[in-house]
Structure 1
Amino acid sequence: MGHFQPGDLKMVYAFILSQELIFPVITMCHVLSVSRSCYYVFRNRGDVVEDRVATKIEAQVVDAFTLHKRRYGTRRLVPELLDQGLKIGRCKLRRILREKGLKAIQPKSFVPRTTDSRHPYPISPNLLKGKAFPVKINQVWVGDITYIPLKGGGWCFLAVWMDLFSRKVTGWQLLNHMKEGLIVEAFKKSWSNRNASIGLVVHSDRGGQ
């Protein structure tokens, strides 16, 4: 027994405890050079029982997590484990998963595409390429579409036209779809607000939407 430090002894006793159903205690204590009476004192202590319970809980958590192929986080594991008879809070569950190095796979959130290059329509030429920056308003308008997530789920789409010289929005339209009417209505508002003249250059993503 003199070969082991107190911390080492606890590990040895824990090993013997885990093997009790396989090997005789007296044999393991003799082979490992530890006192059998001291081992029984260790085994009958309350913290050993707590360790057993904790180990059982951890094993049940790991089993449930593995069963669902790492796709269940704490929110879904809590009711799952409750159905199995284990009442455990999300904080404790999160701690066990963290200590075991387990992390649920996060599903990729759906994000609508505002640009689609896979279409049969021709791509408009880039009229701004090689051109000087505009020197006054209503020479160049640039347009774009962005998506806005809704609180209850789903999306709405915002089409905006902006004067490239003044950097001010000339018109916009918000709809629950990204059809042709979205950008057209926004453009109509821009035209109405600015009364642009002939020669205006309109630049967007050149037919990608």
Structure 2
Amino acid sequence: IFAEFKQRYGVMKIHHELNLELQPLQRRCSPRRISRLMKELDSHSVTVNKWKAASASKTKVEQRPNLLKQDFSTTGLNQKWTADITYIQTKRNGWCYLSTIMDLHPRRIIGYSFSKKMATDLVLKTLESAVKNRTITGDLIIHTDLGS
């Protein structure tokens, strides 16, 4: 049954299907037995959790001019940085968030922070991390998508 349904069925669905097959034979199989057998066979159902978009911010985002205008070229360090937040789904904590800042000259991550909550503090920690790693002299553009 597990293979027949492309490894999508878990214990309860296999229990239901198996008992439908065993019913004419007047036999039954418990979910506990199915669970134990699945553990012994190291069989895990493939589950896909639906992605949920983060709730929209209640504060209005102030529009800023796009200073980069798709020009990602640089002549040295600390001229142009980009920042973004990545959503990462984990088994233990659900959705977590990774905030990063990249220097466009070497195209390397220079600051990051990770959190269970997407909050302003996450981005501020990332900026602090980047500033600790670099000595900034002259003009610096930090480009974001004006998200949260």
TM class, shorter-chain normalised? 0.5 to 0.7
* Structure number, greater radius of gyration: 1
The equivalent residue for 1:208 is: 147
Quick one: distance in 1 between partners of 2:91 and 2:70?
43
Give the whole-Å Cα distance in 2 for the aligned partners of 1:157 and 1:192: 21
Q: Deviations over 1:109-148 (max 9, x none)?
A: 2324369588522222211016572111100000111122
Range with greater deviation from structure 2 (150-159 or 114-123)? 114-123
Bigger mean CA offset, 112-121 vs 163-172: 112-121
**Aligned equivalents of 1:184 and 1:81: distance in 2?**
52
- Asked if the contact 1:157–1:175 (Cα under 8 Å) also holds between the matched residues in 2, the reply is yes
Mean Cα deviation higher: 76-85 or 141-150: 76-85
Q: How many residues matched?
A: 120
What CA deviation, in whole Å up to 9, does each residue of 1:139-190 have, x standing for no partner? 0000111122212251211101010011111110011111111111101110
Match of 1:17 in 2: none
CA RMSD of aligned residues (A): 3.2
- Which has the larger strand fraction? 2
CA deviations over 1:70-104 (Å, ceiling 9, x no partner): xxx6433332245555358xxxxxxxxxxxxxxxx
1:133 paired with 2:73, answer yes
Q: Greater relative contact order: 1 or 2 (C-alpha under 8 angstroms, separation 6 or more)?
A: 2
1:193-204 aligned within 5 A: 193-204=133-144
Question: TM (normalized to structure 1)?
Answer: 0.48
Q: Is the 8 A contact 2:85 2:97 kept in 1?
A: yes
1:145 aligns with 2:81: no
Matched, 1:164 2:104: yes
Whole-Å separation in 1 of the counterparts to 2:70 and 2:90: 40
Q: Which amino acid aligns with 2:142?
A: V
- The whole-number CA distance in structure 1 between the counterparts of 2:89 and 2:101 is 21
User: Residues 1-209 of structure 1: matches in 2 within 5 Å?
Assistant: 74-75=9-10, 76-81=12-17, 86=23, 109-113=49-53, 116=56, 120-129=60-69, 131=71, 133-205=73-145, 207-209=146-148
Distance 2:87 2:19 in 1: 40
Q: TM-score, normalised by structure 2?
A: 0.65
For 2:14, the aligned partner's letter is V
Does the 8 Å contact 2:88/2:98 carry over to 1?
Answer: yes
Percent sequence identity over aligned pairs: 28
CA contact (8 A) 1:143 1:162 kept: yes
Say whether the 8 Å CA contact 1:174–1:182 is kept in structure 2. Answer: yes
